Amino acid sequence: MIDIKSLSNFILKDIDLSIKKGELFVLLGPNGAGKTTILNAITGFCDYKGNIYIDGKSIENIPIKERGIGYVFQDLYLFPHMKVYENIAFGLKINKKTYKTRVDKLIRLLNLERLVDRYPYNLSGGEKQKVALARALAIDPKIILMDEPLNKLDYNTANYIRDEFKKIQRTTGITTIYVTHDYLEARILADRIAVLKDGKIEQIGEKEDIFYYPKTGFVAKFVGINNIFEGNIIEYNNKIAKFLIKNSKIVINIKIDSDFSYRESSLLCIHPEKISLNREPKEDNHFLLSKIIYIKDRGPLLDIKVHIKELDFDIILAKAAFSLENRYVCFSSNVPYLIQTT
């Protein structure tokens, strides 16, 4: 387990978080949010105020090489003059028999057998990434830190390495902190996520909570919700409220808990995949007539933008469920999410 208490420096502002043993924890946020600085503080690469504990013990006076941390850097830093086998084994300082057994095991685990005699310049981007991961795992660390390791790979290679890494993390059970600015990558990998902005944590939680129950407008926007509207509740009855979007005449029915104050300014967040398009309105749902203004083909999915009265809404639909005759937008009352802002 990793416990971080009141971590602060020139970038970070009172960071508090706990990471469970064996967890794949993702730090998510834009450039400059402080994600890499947290990794560097854990490793000992930067100064900070506050406390960091690994398995209940403060690491303040523990030398970097004795902290039991493997680090996969964004730029990898493989040694160009060493072959793959030597790169993987670089950090090992044990007897030759144990040394060989451990390296050979990692080579098999990451399917690197055919690469052991190559130099880094003869490797593809994905192969280099696997070698860097093997090198980090070779020292048998308690924790693996990964700083946007797939950032420079093409889409297909990144997907493959991501899947392979997740299998390895599950197989080894090693505690992992993974940095990314890509919310889709976070959603694929994470057990839990911390969203950072300007050196502060905006929200920590299970990935489904982050994506479907954002606590701030920043989190909602960062995880891909473009349908974010300011407004207020104008009527409330039996947990169903009528939300009037600001500067419009559009009213959307939403399901909320009673702790939201009546008429206070709030943000309404609607995930694009949670809106349906229908040919005709139905009496038991809330429908608005729309005009389709944009369609983008994404294979089995369609990104659709519709115009309703004064506003545009983004929708994601399965291609098989779409027809140009569908004009009525349905907002199911249990789908939108409300963030109280004032």
Same domain for 252 and 195: no
Determine how many CB atoms are found less than 10 A away from the CB of residue 42: 23
Same domain for 33 and 138: yes
Same domain for 306 and 234: yes
pLDDT of res. 164:
86
pTM for this model (two decimals): 0.86
* Tens digits of residue pLDDT in 208-231: 899 888 999 999 999 989 999 999
Phi, psi torsion values for 41, nearest 5 degrees? -65, -45
Same domain for 113 and 31: yes
Lowest mean pLDDT among 14-23, 53-62, 319-328: 319-328
Query: Which of residues 217, 234, 258 is at a domain's end?
Result: 217
Same domain for 71 and 106: yes
pLDDT of res. 230:
93
Task: Return the CA Rg of the chain.
Answer: 24
Same domain for 149 and 204: yes
Same domain for 213 and 230: no
Query: Which of residues 181, 201, 217 is at a domain's end?
Result: 217
Query: Which of residues 192, 217, 242 is at a domain's end?
Result: 217
Phi, psi torsion values for 131, nearest 5 degrees? -65, -40
Contacts for 284 with CB less than 8 Å, ≥ 6 apart: none
Same domain for 197 and 261: no
* Tens digits of residue pLDDT in 95-112: 566 677 888 888 888 888
Pick the closest to residue 308 from 340, 261, 275, 338 (CA basis): 275
C-alpha span between 245 and 267 (Å, rounded): 9
Contact 340, 260 (CB under 8 A): yes
Same domain for 212 and 293: no
Same domain for 166 and 200: yes
C-alpha span between 177 and 190 (Å, rounded): 9
Count how many domains the chain has: 2
Domain encompassing residue 267 = 225-340
- Residue 149 gets which letter from DSSP? T
Angle at 13 between CA 8 and CA 18, to 5 degrees: 75
Same domain for 211 and 235: no
Contact 168, 133 (CB under 8 A): yes
* Tens digits of residue pLDDT in 298-315: 888 999 999 988 899 999
pLDDT of res. 96:
60
Same domain for 253 and 210: no
- Residue 111 gets which letter from DSSP? T
